[in-house]
Amino acid sequence: MAGTADTIAAAKRAAGYRAADMVEDGMVIGLGTGSTVFYAIEALSEKIREGLSVSGVPTSYQTAIRAREYGVPLTTLDDSPILDLAIDGADQIDPQHRMIKGRGAALTREKCVASAAFQFIVVADEAKMVPKLGGVVPVETLPFATTTAMAQLRGLGCRPFIREAVKKDGPVITDNGNFIVDCHFDEIANPGELETAIAVIPGVVESGLFTRLVGNTTIIVGSEKKCSVLTSADVVP
Ligand code: 5RP
């Protein structure tokens, strides 16, 4: 049963706060994008006021703005190419801990930052846990090559649509100056193969399929009452 807005917020808050507890003094961390990560930033802000020393690489303008508001010092992948851990949200997580991300159109920077980290901490409410990945896979594309990329994406069995902005006419423009193509799949038989097949299409910058980081991933699943922490040992074979 779907939770109410309050119970979902409580679950996200629980997961975000638990992730912040994993941050140790002196760490450089990745800061993902989305409402669940924002609770981790809120919790980190309290810890920084109490003396924790930490800096973060933001994965979006939205996260950078939020982190500055909350007093979290920022750095870049140029200055800190290796991160101790990265905290991020997800849209869907399957029993093998493969994910779909990108509702917020930040998937490319999110994948760069997650890949730069020793540990990828994913924070999610329990509604994000699904038996099988499916539905929409967001794909960031170069505007110059979006039409040809869409033809090739269609060949992978999806219906691709350029994501439309809400408070702007025309397409969503990502923080990297690109488009998002939302690819509607009836079924994703093999998420790992699909991630590779999308990645090799010219004009594709990155997809929201995250299937290759499972070994370093810890998932914090928040519910109204508790948090469960899942590691690679909990992956269903
Ligand atoms: C943004 C993302 C988000 O991390 C994902 O959509 C989860 O967001 P939320 O925590 O708000 O549910 O991938 O591109």
Does a structural domain hold residue 39?
yes
Does a structural domain hold residue 145?
yes
Residue 236: pLDDT band (50, 70, 90) is: very high
DSSP the chain: -PPPHHHHHHHHHHHHHHHHTT--TT-EEEE--SHHHHHHHHHHHHHHHTT---EEEESSHHHHHHHHHTT--B--TTT--SEEEEEE--SEE-TT--EE--TTS-HHHHHHHHHTEEEEEEEEEGGGB-SS--EEEEEEE-GGGHHHHHHHHHTTTEEEEEPBPSSSSSB---TTS-EEEEEEES--S-HHHHHHHHHTSTTEEEESEE-S-GGGEEEEEE-SS-EEEE-GGG---
- Domain of residue 73 covers 5-130+212-232
**pLDDT given for residue 2 in this prediction:** 63
Residue 3: pLDDT band (50, 70, 90) is: confident
Q: Is the CB of 35 under 6 A from ligand 1?
A: yes
- Among the listed residues 229, 228, 230, 226, the one whose alpha carbon sits nearest the alpha carbon of residue 10: 226
142 with 224, same domain: the answer is: no
**pTM for this predicted structure:** 0.96
Q: Which residue has the higher pLDDT, 1 or 88?
A: 88
Does a structural domain hold residue 237?
no
Say how many Å lie between the CA of residue 151 and the centre of ligand 1.
27
- Can you give the CATH number for the domain in which 183 is found? 3.30.70.260
Does a structural domain hold residue 82?
yes
Does a structural domain hold residue 118?
yes
- Can you give the CATH number for the domain in which 12 is found? 3.40.50.1360
Asked whether the predicted pLDDT for residue 113 surpasses 60, the reply is yes
Of 13, 103, 108, 220, the one to substitute when testing ligand 1's pocket (max ligand atoms within 8 A of C-beta) is 103
Say how many Å lie between the CA of residue 27 and the centre of ligand 1.
23
Phi-psi region of 12 (alpha: psi -120 to 50; beta: other; left: phi over 0): alpha
Does a structural domain hold residue 220?
yes
Asked whether the predicted pLDDT for residue 77 surpasses 80, the reply is yes
101 with 195, same domain: the answer is: no
126 with 86, same domain: the answer is: yes
30 with 118, same domain: the answer is: yes
Asked whether the predicted pLDDT for residue 1 surpasses 60, the reply is no
> pLDDT tens digit string along 102-111?
999 999 999 9
**pLDDT given for residue 224 in this prediction:** 83
Asked whether the predicted pLDDT for residue 235 surpasses 60, the reply is yes
Does a structural domain hold residue 54?
yes
92 with 11, same domain: the answer is: yes
Which residue's CA is the closest to the ligand 1 atom numbered 8? 34
